[in-house]
Amino acid sequence: MRTEVAIVGAGPAGLLLSHLLGREGVDSVVVETRSREYVEARIRAGILESSTVGLLDEVGLGDRLHREGQQHRGIYLQWPGERHHLDFVELAGRSVWLYGQTELTKDLGLARDAAGQHIRYGVRDTRLHDLTTGHPYVTFTDADGGAARIDPNVVVGCDGSFGPSRAAVPDAGKQTWERTYPYAWLGILATVAPSTDELIYAWHPEGFALHSMRSASVSRLYLQVDPDTDLDEWPDERIWDALARRLGAGLEGWDLTPGPITEKSVLPMRSFVMAPMRYGRLFLAGDAAHIVPPTGAKGLNLAVADVALLAPALVALVQKNDGRLAEAYSEAALRRVWRSTHFSWWMTTMLHPNGDPFDTQLQRSQLRWVTSSRAAATGLAENYAGLPIGC
């Protein structure tokens, strides 16, 4: 198969890239190891920054998001006895939108269907070849077992942390930075109306808790747990008890309504950055190049911002043979990546007790500061609601 851009991975980054390229008349082929059903059901965070929403609107992908998503002005930050609302609109002039990654992925899939884009799901043994030559290529086994090959101008890795793209960059061609946190999140999806209008981030001596949601009738909640947690030790009742204790601590007149749990999983917490986000004719976007812990919901937004920078760079490269934006891509993307990496580390270390009494006092002091100083609250709001793409 000849094409201009081979895209490895049909998550939100790969699908959005193919959409943006298609709008400019640049042809792409997308390969994905998972099935379409799996990709569209994969539960991830659900907060879109204002610039993510702005981009989706601009490229005709915002209709359902505006109809079914919820605009949130801010978040609640709390610790036992105190709950404070931070109003991002007032502080930073921007809001966020609650819209699950599953929903965005479905919208992207339908938009690609409408454009006649063929996406090869269920492929195996994807391999990237000759990336530093003028003729890179990708081989794979298609869903029917046939050997296949793509001959593109450039390859883009949108295949996450464990895909073949990052692994195709030799150690000598990359620098990496990593932080593993000594805790994890136990996440649940429950069929029950949220007990709050906006997200609650709760510090508690027993551990962090987060009350998020997906719709008026579906709640998403998280509990800080040990990384080696066995889900069998967390029957539903224990989860709801811990959530009620951590989220309701010292707050008169607020109750958490429990409901049937439909999904339960343990999420590791890790920060990772690889630079540069390019190796010869391979460009990396989203989780293939960087991972953030979920606190602050930056992962999907970073992937969108990468692709928003990469699409015009690839259009200039393949249509005009102008490589200037492609040359600048990695550095420009990494500026935002490090801002989000810092912000999600900062939120994470502020909110998760780690058993160290000194750190506990620092966390309590920091929480008081961001909820009482307008300058500090504005810093949080600016980062959470997101900087304009390209900054």
Six-digit token string for 177: 């930075």
User: Would you list the DSSP string of 296-322?
Assistant: T--HHHHHHHHHHHHHHHHHHHHHH--
Eight-state DSSP code of residue 388: P
Secondary structure of residue 150 in the 3-state scheme: strand
Active-site annotation holds for 294: yes
Active-site annotation holds for 298: yes
User: x/- string (CB under 6 A) for ligand PHB, residues 208-247?
Assistant: ----x-------x---------------------------
Secondary structure percentages of the chain, helix, strand, coil, to 5: 40, 25, 35
Q: Please, what's the largest Cα pairwise distance for the chain? A: 66
According to the binding rule CB under 6 A, does residue 200 interact with ligand PHB?
Answer: no
Closest approach of Cβ 214 to ligand PHB, in Å?
Answer: 7
Tell the burial category of 360 from Cβ atoms under 10 Å away from its Cβ (0-12, 13-18, 19+).
middle
Evaluate whether 14 touches 33 at the Cβ level (below 8 Å).
Answer: no
Q: Which residue in the set 45, 184, 310, 317 belongs to the binding site for ligand PHB (CB under 6 A)?
A: 45
Q: 14 or 294: whose CB is closer to ligand PHB?
A: 294
Closest CA to 112 of 34, 17, 197, 184: 17
Catalytic residue among 181, 298, 329, 352: 298
Closest approach of Cβ 253 to ligand PHB, in Å?
Answer: 25
Cα dihedral 21, 23, 27, 31 sign: positive
Among residue numbers 273 through 302, which ones bind ligand PHB (CB under 6 A)? 294-297
Q: 84 or 174: whose CB is closer to ligand PHB?
A: 84
Catalytic residue among 294, 329, 352, 353: 294
Stretch that binds ligand PHB, among 42-50, 126-134, 170-178, 231-239 (CB under 6 A): 42-50
Closest approach of Cβ 230 to ligand PHB, in Å?
Answer: 22
Closest approach of Cβ 388 to ligand PHB, in Å?
Answer: 21
Question: For residues 146 and 98, what is the distance between their CA atoms, to the nearest angstrom?
Answer: 41
Catalytic residue among 76, 181, 183, 201: 201
Closest approach of Cβ 100 to ligand PHB, in Å?
Answer: 7
Six-digit token string for 247: 């989220």
Q: 47 or 119: whose CB is closer to ligand PHB?
A: 47
List active site positions.
72, 201, 294, 298, 384
* Residues contributing to the site for ligand PHB (CB under 6 A): 45-47, 199, 212, 220, 294-297
